[in-house]
Structure 1
């Protein structure tokens, strides 16, 4: 049961990457706070399971599958959520992946994959749902970055660069959308268990 201070009953949220790990935790915490939640995943499996847990908490849930790094997928997801919910008050961009390799052994496709799933996914989520938030002149965006955004490490150039870029992206959009009453923030968690035992 959520504390009264965190009661936001009646709001609607889209949690991109909410099938497992941090995203799943956020989706369930929002449900406990009274929020109806749409959950996405690359495949339907984990998103559907999280949606079932949201329903078990007494809230409405929608599960959707799509690639958060692709504009066509995110446009379709945004349209479906707006069709089902009518409005969205909260957008959480929570997709991520990491590959630890020395730079000289990192193929271009792996670099692009890591940058896309940690940075481009937030761009796509904001781009797809942004017009709705700006038109309503209210709402909030929460981008999930990481402590890696504050300190670079060996063997982690793609991931750490992408998370740092996500922080700057968040700052830019926060200033761009503030005049419209839309808040944009980032959270930078540390290590978090994301294995099958939590998803």
Structure 2
């Protein structure tokens, strides 16, 4: 039985980069709480496969191909959703990437690629969604940041810069969009085990270094993000905006 304050029935949720990993996990969580889910990504095969999985679980979902760094495609994405569903109520602004290199080895192209996807993409999708939400006088924008938007770590030059930028965008947008009954918050995960990170985390020394820096002495699982994303997407968070919610087992508090 759903608790009404967390019920997302009748809401339309867009999850960028929602075909795999954290994005897919969040899409599934929103769908399980009643939202109709739209997955957007560049990879059509992965996007359609993700939608098929969600549909198989009884979740209403469909896929739209879009490159978040392309304004025309982003605008078309939002228009497609509104034409098909009538509204866009929730945005999980998740699409992102990383290139880990020492500072002196970061190429200009590396910087441009990471900042384009992680920051320009967040901006373009957030802007397009905000225009629709302002018309509705309602909306929930959830930007996906990282612990590295708040703390430093070697080899994260472009990634950390992009995530720090996301944190500031979140605060600015929250102030600007509050009069339209739109909340804007960010989720900043720590290390989360996904199919993409599993191999990286299987390195025993690396894993031990991570858990030693984490109060709960473990890495996160996709299920650890279920509650935070549903909370911020639902009426339970009606008086919460401009916040960076760290879901990191205590990493940033240590």
Q: TM-score range by the shorter chain?
A: over 0.9
Give the C-alpha shift of residue 149 in structure 1.
0.8
* 1:50 and 2:53 matched: no
Aligned counterpart, 2:121: 121
Bigger CA radius of gyration: 2
Give the C-alpha shift of residue 8 in structure 1.
1.6
Aligned counterpart, 2:182: 182
Aligned counterpart, 1:97: 97
Aligned counterpart, 1:18: 18
Root-mean-square deviation (Å): 1.8
Inter-partner Cα distance in structure 1 for 2:70 and 2:178 = 26
TM-score by length of 1: 0.93
**Cα contact 1:21–1:192 (8 A) shared by 2:** no
Give the C-alpha shift of residue 162 in structure 1.
0.6
Inter-partner Cα distance in structure 2 for 1:128 and 1:52 = 27
Inter-partner Cα distance in structure 2 for 1:115 and 1:151 = 18
Aligned counterpart, 1:140: 140
Give the C-alpha shift of residue 191 in structure 1.
1.2
TM-score by length of 2: 0.74
Q: How does 1:145-164 map to 2 (within 5 A)?
A: 145-164=145-164
* 1:108 and 2:108 matched: yes
Aligned counterpart, 2:251: none
Inter-partner Cα distance in structure 2 for 1:52 and 1:13 = 17
Indicate the SS of the match to 1:14. strand
Inter-partner Cα distance in structure 2 for 1:6 and 1:140 = 13
Inter-partner Cα distance in structure 2 for 1:164 and 1:45 = 32
Give the C-alpha shift of residue 59 in structure 1.
3.1
Listed one character per residue, the Cα deviations across residues 51-99 of structure 1 (whole Å, up to 9, x for unaligned) are 1122223232110112111111111111111111111110111011111
Runs of 4+ in 1 over 4 A off after TM superposition: 1-5
